[in-house]
Structure 1
């Protein structure tokens, strides 16, 4: 009889644990399902370089691109701050990602420049016209 009582108690505990675990998987009402994964950047490997010398330019453009699901991997300064306009440099022969970046930034300044050791699909070099390209 004692074994039967212990078995019944264990079954009740197991049932309660299963119910509690199932309730944790249910989202509270008002929270949209799947919203958190839609913000994960997944388009290309993008490098953004400040080529105009304006403080915060690369960060602002990186945020703009990330909001559009581009995966910005690196932000930095270009070799000079004398770039006359924003340009998109494709580092791979397939220019699909570079075209998508150029569309997002509304520029037709798109070139292919490969050296074989690139870790990025696209490099964005910002000129002084960058600000007008990221307005909402």
Structure 2
């Protein structure tokens, strides 16, 4: 018969088992959190990329609306000019929802303001009035319920409605 040789293998004590379990738990937690951070970072990157693409697509494909709602403000102080512009725009199939005075009467050049983020509307109205496209500006305001605001300046006599 063969004799068995007894080899002494160290038996882990309770403290070593606890340390090993804690290390495994911490390493697993670090791995899971790192994965979550990577997924969230990728998600944010994708959303930012898609937002930029959508914004550039919207800007390049803007077309004037079928119905453009306009506000006409008299900024030159000449009586009746706002009504003349309103009549002209309505005859051109533009929906004028408000005609009023501007806060002051010292506006030198007529300005067309885009209120909803569709500059094609403002450019169409500017073209109808005989205004240069560079005087159509973008000034978004969700408090206004119009697409375009026109502030009539002291150059009103040179514009299409009075020619």
* TM-score, scaled to structure 1: 0.66
Counterpart-to-counterpart distance in 2, 1:131 and 1:66: 19
5+ unaligned residues in a row in structure 2: which ranges? Answer: 1-65
Runs of 4+ in structure 1 off by over 2 angstroms are none
Query: As a proportion of its length, which structure holds more helix?
Result: 2
SS at match of 1:100: helix
Aligned equivalents of 1:130, 1:103: Cα separation in 2: 14
In the aligned structure 2, how far is the partner of 1:45 from the partner of 1:77? 17
CA contact (8 A) 2:71 2:98 kept: yes
* Cα shift at 1:115: 2.2
Which has a greater percent of strand?
1
User: What is the RMSD computed on CA atoms of the aligned residues?
Assistant: 1.2
5+ long unaligned stretches in structure 1: 1-41
* Rg larger in structure: 2
Q: Does residue 1:81 correspond to 2:105, yes or no?
A: yes
Please point out which of 108, 127, 133 is paired with 1:103: 127
**1:135 to partner: Cα distance:** 3.4
Are 2:109 and 2:152, in contact at CA under 8 Å, matched by a contact in 1?
yes
Q: How many residues align?
A: 95
TM-score (norm: length of structure 2)? 0.56
2:152 counterpart of 1:132 = no
